[in-house]
Amino acid sequence: MKRASILSAVLVPLILAACGPADLVVTAEIERMNPETGAMEMAPVANMEVQLLPFDRDFIFDSLAQAHDRPEPVFPEEVAIMRDSLFEARDEWSTAEAEWLTIRDRLETISQEMGQFSPGEARYRELFFQFEEEETRLRQAEQRRDSAFDRYDRLQREVLDEVNQARLVQEQWEDEAFAPYGDVVVDRLRETGRDIMADTTDATGMARLRPSPGEWWVFARHRVATEELYWNIRVDLQRGEPVTLRLDRGNAEIRQVF
């Protein structure tokens, strides 16, 4: 091979790498209850849209809020206390429901395995005793679940109207204050010469984007029972090795979902 050919074979990949896009790998994980063991384990978040924005959306919202002619309304203190009590009761009920479902699934698994043996076999007797123990736990979990729901239902009837009224005032203000958001985004995209990019996490919780180098913000949100995990994280991307960003509860803003 001629020297020029060898040099070309070496330089072309380097030149392409230097001129190519950046490479961002986003992984998303949250803690979930294992239905078999009842233990909390990290699990991937699949089918979650991940957007890559060439602007800070939180900064835009903050700027619009400050520019509005009226300050953002806040929950009256007494209503906020009632709302927080309702959130607490809802979380307690959700946890109790998850516990009950886990034990119920375990009972079904034991029952299916029992069907593989005759009552006279030792393994059947072992499973039978396990089934009785889990059945007792299921009744106890059902009592806790029903009690938690009764408390949540009672609080909901007592405070829902007042909380909804306070939230309605907030939403009306947001509709007014943030009405220009779409126009601001269009202007920002025009200024940067970039577009919003997006990908959806796969079964392993991974999404991959290949933007131009520079400053970007990773935006995603994920609903978990009674709350939303919200991410808006700045990343500085360069050509070269892929950059990996992990999204989890630790770097999310936790927002109550009402």
Are 87 and 226 contacting, i.e. CB atoms less than 8 angstroms apart?
A: yes
Tell me the C-alpha distance between 6 and 110, whole Å: 66
pLDDT at 215: 97
User: pLDDT tens for residues 208-228?
Assistant: 999 999 999 999 999 986 789
Are 96 and 148 contacting, i.e. CB atoms less than 8 angstroms apart?
A: yes
Tell me the C-alpha distance between 31 and 38, whole Å: 12
Are 197 and 209 contacting, i.e. CB atoms less than 8 angstroms apart?
A: yes
Which residues lie closer than 8 Å to 49 by C-beta, 6 or more apart?
198, 199, 200, 220
Determine the residue type at 28: A
DSSP for residue 212: P
Task: Tell me the whole-structure pTM to 2 decimals.
Answer: 0.70
Chain-wide mean pLDDT for the chain? Answer: 89
User: Look-up: residue for tokens 């009837």?
Assistant: 157
The rounded percent of the chain whose pLDDT value lies above 90 is 70
Q: Two tokens at 89? A: 């009761």
